[in-house]
Structures are given as structure tokens and as C-alpha cells.
Amino acid sequence: MHRMPAGPKLTLFAVVAVVVAALPPVWATVAVAVVVPAALYAVAGMGFGAGLRALGGQVWALRWMIAITAVGQLIFLGLEPAAANTARVAAAVLVAGLVPLTTPVSAMLDALERGLRPLRRVGIDPARVALLWMVTLTTIPVLARHAADVRDAQRARGLRPSLVRGTLPFLVVALRHADDLGDALAARGIR
Amino acid sequence: MSERAATLRCDRVVARLGDREVLRDVTLDLDARTTAIIGDNGSGKSTFARLIAGLVRRTSGELAVLGLDPERDAADLRRRVALVLSNPDVQIIMPTVAEDVALSLRPLRLAHEERNRRVAAVLERFGLDALADRPAHDLSGGQKQLLALAGAFVRAPDLVVADEPTAFLDARNARTVADHLLADTGHALVVVTHDLALARRCERAVLFEDGGVVASGIAADVVGRYERALAC
């Protein structure tokens, strides 16, 4: 799968994610939503074991999203729909998460730009949209590091890291990063 | 570099950030291949560098960079001027070393083969070829700054503006980065720096103080004047 061209791969994953997300809220959906991501990660080209470990890492990263979704669904809808809805949402996100794991960002950027070319007719610049998407994608791990730095700074001051105390410093750091990112893009000749 | 317009022509340029005047009546002509901008913190050096690179707009005065108006000819200027910042971490955008360098070539819309060839050549020039597929954020500070230089030089700019490029580096890496910046590869260099040894290696230097130019001339003379002022 890692050898597949980026354009068809993105399309395939998008279709799979949409189909899984559209499955009905029944127990069988839970099974499908577990098997499909597991199968895709296993054959993604990382190696069977490494692929499943990567899946495990992604699931762990999504644990709060999964937990909050499950609890909310359980309160309002009952066990079977809660399980199915949570599973299909998680599966869609996990399938989407496979894309950056198996595709160089530059290849995704090229594919996205090619795919968006028809939108030139309505005044949309495919290069800028693709760049915006790419910058968003690559900024996520950077912001995660900044959040970790804020927590470390709190610990260094003898404080227990907390969401309330950490939100404002994180926002300041994130906004500064946005400014720096603008400068970095300008430094490359990219408007 | 073939016959070229003067690097910089500046006539009574004023720049304000908010209600603060950060550059006042800057009049300067820069024609040397390498120019150092020195001065205390808050003297306007970085603002001047960003003005040249088109990141800051002037409030008044006339400004021509490589014969171009930074506002009217912004697109042309972006193609010909590369900027290197002090913090290597903020300059890395793409996940891997090679992808990060290749990002600089995207506006040129080159064929893949030509893009890959240029990336490979510049990585080799900066000693990063063995790290092409390495995650860019895993590099050391010195390697990251070399990556930033690679990303700047891959576009073969006519002018490189470097704002404190060695600020975050140890002495060895600072020397390596300075050697690359000062090498005669067809570009002009304007470098803002607190490193007076680097400033001395330039042909010319400009001393800023309180937003204005107080000295401009041969680098050794200007740096010497600044060192004498520091000793007082």
C-alpha cells in the first residue's frame, strides 16, 4: 500500500472511511469497524506486527475521543447504537490516519493539487488550498510538542499541569508559532 | 551573478510597528556582496532585515531591493530573495529533510526530476545528503540551520537576508553556517548579527542605533567603532 500512488490511495481511503462511517448502528458494524482498520494497517507496508502496533498507537491517541463519544451515545441512544456509532467514527478516523503513515507529505500535496485543479474555474487556487491543508497537517505534531513544553514548564515551576492553567500559555505559544510559520513560508518565497 | 541592480537603495525610510517608530529616516545604499547589520537589541536591525525581505512594510520613504519595490513587486522579490531566520525549529515545515528543501521549489513548478536533482545537489552541498529521509525535527540544532540554508539556497536567490543565523548555534556550527553564507556562489548577503567575528568577515557593515543608521562602511571600521562604544 505504501507503493500505491498518492492520488488513488487518498481516494481509496476516503471512500473506505465514508463507507465505514455510513454503516448502520448495529452490532455487525462494530465488527466491520474493527476488522477494516486492522486489515488496512496490517497490509499497509509497515509489516504485519508494526502495522498493528501503529494501529494501537493511533487508538491510544484517540482514547479520549472514543471515550467521550461512547459515553454520550450510551446516555442518549443505548448500548448497540453507542457501540456501533463510536466504532464507525473511530474507524473512519483511523483509516484517515493511515494516509500520513504510508504517504510522503510531498506526494499528498502533489495529489491534492492535481485533484483540485478543476476548481480553478471557480477561482480557487489549488496550490494554496493544498498548501493550507499540508501546513495544517504538519502543524498538528508541532502543537502537540508545544503543549508538552507548556506542561513541562508548569512542572518546572512546581505546578501540577492542568488544562485551566495551561490553556492561555498554550494559546500564546500557538499564536506565536502561527506568526513564525508565516515568516518561514515567506522565507521560502511562498505567499 | 551577471550585471545586477544595487542590492539595496534606501531613502529616508520610516517603519512603524503599531504606534512605535522602529526605523527612522534610514538612508542607505548597499552594493557590497556581503554586508553585516550590527547594533544593540532593539536598534532596528531585525526590522530592517524583514523590511528588505518584504515581511514588514515601510511607513514612508523610498526603498528598492535589487531594483524592485518590495510592495509593488512583491512576487518578483519573493522569487529572488531568500530569508534565513535565527531559530532553526520555526523554519522546518515538512516532515523529512528532503521534503523540507523541496518545499522551497514548489512555487517554481518544476518537473519532478528537476526538483529532485536540485534537492539532491543542495543537500550534498550542505552535507545533508545522508539525512535526506530523516525526520527534519530529529536533526541537531546545527543540522536544522543547515537545512534552513539548504531550503534558502536551493532557489538560487540573488539576495540572502539572514537574521541572526548563528544565534542558537555552538561555535563550530556557527562557523560552518557562516562559511556557507559568505561563500561566493552568486548571491549577495545581508546578515543581521551579534557575532562580531562574522560581521568582520563581511565586506561592509552598517551600525544601527535607536532605529537609525549611525555608521556604514568597511566592516572592520564599523565593527571597531561599535566595539569601542561597547568598551565605554
Name the residue in chain B with its Cα closest to that of A178: B90
Q: In angstroms, what CA-CA distances link A126 with A58, B105, B115?
A: 30, 16, 19
Burial B105-127 (b: 16+ CB within 10 A, else e): bbbeeeeeeebeebbeebbebbe
Of B74, B87, B104, the CB nearest to A188: B104
Could you give the residue ranges of the DSSP H alpha helices within chain B? 45-52, 74-80, 88-91, 97-103, 112-125, 141-153, 171-182, 196-200, 219-231
- pLDDT over 70 percentage in chain B: 98
Residue among A129, A188, A190 with most chain B CBs within 10 A, to mutate: A188
pLDDT exceeds 60 at position B3:
no
Report the alpha-carbon distance of residue B28 to residue A3 in Å, rounded. 55
Give the pLDDT of residue A67.
92
- By CB neighbour count within 10 A (0-12 exposed, 13-18 middle, 19+ buried), where does B20 fall? exposed
All three cell numbers of B199 = 560581521
- A163 φ, ψ (degrees, to nearest 5): -65, -40
Q: In angstroms, what CA-CA distances link B11 with B15, B17, B24, B61?
A: 12, 19, 11, 6
Partnered with residue B159 across adjacent β-strands are B81, B188
Q: Using DSSP, state whether A188 is helix, strand or coil.
A: coil
Enclosing H/E stretch for A66: helix A63-77
Contact A104 B102 (CB under 8 A): no
Report the alpha-carbon distance of residue B210 to residue B195 in Å, rounded. 19
Q: How far is B12 from chain A (nearest CA, A)?
A: 25
Contact A188 B103 (CB under 8 A): yes
Contact B103 A190 (CB under 8 A): yes
Q: How far is B94 from chain A (nearest CA, A)?
A: 7
A11-69 per-position pLDDT tens digit: 888 888 888 888 898 999 999 999 999 998 988 887 888 888 888 988 988 888 899 99
Of A104, A184, A191, the CB nearest to B93: A184
pLDDT band at A1 (very low <50, low <70, confident <90, very high): low
pLDDT exceeds 50 at position A129:
yes
ipTM, 2 decimals?
A: 0.73
pLDDT exceeds 50 at position B1:
no
Q: Are the beta carbons of B19 and B187 closer than 8 angstroms?
A: no
pLDDT exceeds 90 at position B58:
yes
Q: Are the beta carbons of A100 and A41 closer than 8 angstroms?
A: no
- In sequence order, the 6+-apart residues with CB closer than 8 A to the CB of B24 are B14, B210, B211, B212
Q: In angstroms, what CA-CA distances link A108 with A9, A99, B221?
A: 9, 9, 52
pLDDT band at A180 (very low <50, low <70, confident <90, very high): confident
Q: Which carries the bigger pLDDT value, residue B153 or residue A189? A: B153
Burial A109-145 (b: 16+ CB within 10 A, else e): bbbbbebbeeeeeeeeebbeebbeebbeebbeebeee
Q: In angstroms, what CA-CA distances link B57 with A172, B49, B60, B215?
A: 24, 11, 9, 23
